[in-house]
Amino acid sequence: MATADRRSELQSPRTPTRRQVLTTTAVAATGALLTPHVSIAQVGSDERIVIGLMGAGGRGTSVAAGFAALPNVVVKYACDVDPKRAETAAGTIGKKVPEGALKPVPLADFRRMLDDKDVTAIAIATPNHWHAPAAILAASAGKHVYVEKPCSHNPREGELLVEAARKHNRCIQHGTQRRSWAKIIEAMDKVKSGAIGPVRIARCWYTNARKTIGKGMPAAPPAGLDWALWQGPAPAKEFRDNYLHYTWHWFWHWGNGECGNNGVHGLDLGRWGLGVDCPKTVTSSGGRYYFDDDQETPDTQWTTFDYGDKLLTWEGKSCHPRGVEASLSGFGVAFYGEQGTIVLDSSGYTTYDPKNKEVAVVKPGKGEAGEDLHFNNFLAAIRANDPKKLTAEVAEAASSSLLCHVANIAQRTGRTIHLDPQTKQLKTDDAEAKKLWSREYQKGWEPKV
């Protein structure tokens, strides 16, 4: 558990510790050599965009390396509460930049990036409980944001994140990258244009073969890891040896289970294709069936979103890899129309006629499914100073993430959740569901717009 002194350091999200000041001083000493000043409000098509990475694990490193490889982009910082990860990420990202170009500086505290006027945007690839609080702080500091999925840890954070984007006129792009991929867009156009007739049902799924996380024991955090700052906005807990680095996903305190981890991708596409937003009712069943361990979130989950005239479902099997539909793909979305079916896989789609005969298999061509498409869309919106150009803008992000959160609320309460589609709020006076709509925060870290 964090000590009283350490907790006091976290009371103000903007107050640096002595160690943070030393880190900032070291960065400042090299800052003038890294990039010229970039005015956030006046980033033009020929000006470089400066990015700071928050969360230097595998996903964060991949995202930052992708940005670093693009023209007129500099990744100035690789930030992580574990200095070893920050240093490793900085080295990996540095290998992706053109010869002679500047390489990122490892950093421990993301707040130093918010204070740096050179930084145009923050890329957030932290555990889920940090996504919205960090993005709100970044937008308040005048930064644009690329945030990994889901964009929030709970429904209320999604609402606040949209408010922050609007208040500060910032571009906030969600890491649902398939919205920028050519063949996925093509498939959506077919669904919406009536190529398979009226579509009233969509089915999403994700499967894997995850192993047990075991029974954790109290332990000291890894050497160098700032456990208090890793927890940040989440109320402090004692460290246990099965929390890191990926398994935090399966604890409600920080994660959102498989539905928030990977289900959000399929649900985002399903919602997009059906042309729906907030459902009327949500039901969920499943549980933890495979291992007697510390996992809190379900390893098996079936959720139904009823829109009154349309139905969207999500199936999650974290511990059995067999997929769905003819390809048995571990990820996909199927749209069932009166005149046929379109089934999306990770990057392409297959069309079937009314008698289930395969009509066409469409795969992406070169350059039609890379993440650089999503990154470039983000950069183009920043340079145009126009959030409407984003393919996965924050309002869409919040709506798709809401489906994950409400699915989990239905799962945790064991009840059907009733929503008002207009207000996107709970329709019934369900005290347990209302409590899960938001969360408690470590004092001083409550998200504020």
Tell me the per-residue pLDDT of 228-256, one tens digit each, with 9 for 90 and over.
999 999 999 999 999 999 999 999 999 99
Q: Is the pLDDT of residue 343 over 70?
A: yes
State the average pLDDT over residues 402-411: 98
DSSP class of residue 40 equals: G
> What are the E-state strand segments in 141-214?
144-147, 172-174, 199-209
Q: What is the average pLDDT value for the chain, to the nearest integer?
A: 91
Mean pLDDT confidence for 155-172? 98
pLDDT-based confidence at 51, cuts 50/70/90?
A: very high
What is the rounded CA–CA span in Å between residue 82 and residue 34? 23
Given a cut of 90, whether residue 103 has pLDDT beyond it is yes
If 0-12 CB within 10 Å is exposed, 13-18 middle and 19+ buried, where does residue 306 land?
middle
- Give residue-wise pLDDT tens across range 285-335: 999 999 999 999 999 999 999 999 999 999 999 999 999 998 899 999 999
Q: What is the pLDDT of residue 291?
A: 98
For the chain, percent of residues with pLDDT exceeding 70: 90
Confidence (pLDDT) at 97: 87
Q: What is the pTM of this model?
A: 0.90
Q: Average pLDDT in the 153-178 region? A: 98
CA 397/CA 174 separation, integer angstroms: 6
Question: How sure is the predictor about 99, in pLDDT bands with cuts at 50, 70 and 90?
Answer: confident
Mean pLDDT of 70-87: 97
Residue 57 to residue 92: CA distance in whole angstroms: 11
Beta-carbon contacts of residue 73 (< 8 Å; ≥ 6 apart)? 48, 49, 50, 51, 67, 379
In this structure, which amino acid lies at residue 414? G
Instruction: Tell whether the model's pLDDT for residue 120 goes beyond 90.
Output: yes
Q: What is the pLDDT of residues 255-275, one digit of tens each?
A: 999 999 999 999 999 999 999
Q: What percent of the chain has pLDDT over 90?
A: 87
Q: Is 70 exceeded by the pLDDT of residue 21?
A: no
Largest CA distance in the chain: 69
pLDDT digits (tens, 9 = 90+) for 382-403: 999 999 999 999 999 999 999 9
Query: Contact at 8 Å (CB) between 105 and 99?
Result: no
| pLDDT at 203 (0 to 100) | 98
Distance CA 89, CA 85 (A): 6
Confidence of residue 44 (pLDDT cuts 50, 70, 90): low
| 144 — pLDDT class (breaks 50, 70, 90) | very high
Q: Which pLDDT does position 37 carry in this prediction?
A: 33
pLDDT greater at residue 36 or residue 160 = 160
Residue 22 has pLDDT above 60, yes or no: no
**Whole-number Å distance between alpha carbons of 107 and 302:** 41
Q: What is the pLDDT of residue 346?
A: 94
User: pLDDT category, 194, cuts 50, 70, 90?
Assistant: very high
Nearest to 268 by CA among 148, 178, 144, 162: 178
pLDDT of the residue at 101: 84
Q: Is pLDDT at 31 greater than 90 in this prediction? A: no
Mean pLDDT within 221-234: 97
Contact assessment for residue 267 and residue 400, using Cβ atoms and an 8 Å cutoff: yes
- Cα–Cα separations (whole angstroms), residue 51 to 6, 35, 104, 268: 29, 11, 9, 26
pLDDT for residue 18: 32
Which pLDDT tens digit goes with each residue over 355-369?
999 999 999 999 999
Question: What integer is the mean pLDDT of 180-205?
Answer: 98
> Residue 40: its pLDDT value, please?
38
Neighbours of 368 (CB within 10 A): 17
Domains of the chain: 4-178 (3.40.50.720), 180-366+394-437 (3.30.360.10)
Task: Look at residue 43 in the predicted model and tell me its pLDDT.
Answer: 55
* Contact indicator for 143, 114 with CB cutoff of 8 Å: yes
